[in-house]
Structure 1
Amino acid sequence: MMRYLEPRKARIEIVPMIDIMFFLLVFFVIAMLRMIPSSGIASQLPHSSTATDVPHPKVLVELTKNGSALVDDKPITLPELSRRLAHNDPAKTAVTIASDQGTSVQSLMAVMDACRTAGVTQIALAAKVQR
């Protein structure tokens, strides 16, 4: 006796779907890790009672207690900083200066002058909110 072929019900395979979900998860985790800003140096930022959040800067300049400047955790001189900022579009470049509490005002002004010499108009100072 011959049995007619009955149509098979469609079956969803779970294992390949789980594999694809894990690949997507790994892709997004790696993509997000690339978006995390550099950790920077350990410094004690000055406190301010009127500090507000600013958008993520395109350039983060870190100023140490001895007055040296760091960009991307690498030491940089002020003329090099001006050249680097002028190389990009200075009108659209946002610079945030994160200085240590013990940094002299003269060092801070020298970095700000280097930014202004390059044509940067958006300069912010990093600070901790005083509570």
Structure 2
Amino acid sequence: MRYLETRKARIEIVPMIDIMFFLLVFFVMAMLKMIPNSGIATQLPHSSTAVEVPHPKVLVSLLKDGSIMIDGKPGTLPDLSHQLASGDAVQTAVTIASDQGTSVQNLMAVMDACRTVGVTQIALAAKVQH
């Protein structure tokens, strides 16, 4: 008589959860490939004695026309000073990525804006030339 008993239908949840996690990972990976990388095209000066420095807390890009980008966003020297003064300036590491055709005066203006608020860790970005 055991063969004639009706059995309750069971829905297995574990395989369904596995499939949902797989789909989630698949779509996350697909979306990461769709996000465009953004940045500014600059030609860094070359140096044969450049060394690797730690990752900066603030990256300042100095373009040929004298404009600056603070962590990828357009800004001015007062904006840079204000942003650096709002944090712990002594512990802040600033890297200046200056375009090859930038004048030294513009570079000095950015360095002065950093040092005025108390930043002591300033590095200049360069391409290593072998």
TM over 0.5: yes
The answer to whether the 8 A contact 1:40-1:62 is kept is no
**Matches of 1:46 and 1:17 in 2, distance apart?**
51
How far apart are the structure 2 equivalents of 1:19 and 1:94?
Answer: 43
C-alpha distance in structure 2 between counterparts of 1:73 and 1:44, whole Å:
16
Q: Partner letter of residue 52 of structure 1?
A: V
Aligned-residue CA RMSD (Å): 2.9
Letter in 1 for 2:63: T
User: Residues 56 and 19 (structure 1 numbering): CA distance in 2 closer, same or farther, change over 3 Å?
Assistant: same
Q: Which residue of 1 aligns with 2:79?
A: 80
Task: Show the counterpart of 1:8.
Answer: none
Q: Which runs of 5+ in 2 are unaligned?
A: 6-11
1:24 to partner: Cα distance:
4.8
What is the number of equivalent residue pairs in this alignment?
121
The alignment partner of 1:79 has SS state of helix
Structure 1 residues 39, 47: CA separation in 2 closer, same or farther (over 3 Å shift)? Answer: farther
Letter in 1 for 2:44: L
CA distance in 2, matches of 1:26, 1:59: 32
Identity of aligned residues (%): 61
Alignment of 1:40-55 (within 5 A): 40-55=39-54
The alignment's TM-score, normalised by the length of structure 2, stands at 0.75
Tell me the TM-score normalised to structure 1 length.
0.74
Question: What SS does the corresponding residue of 2:114 show, helix, strand or coil?
Answer: helix
> 4+ residue stretches of structure 1 with deviation over 4 A?
24-31
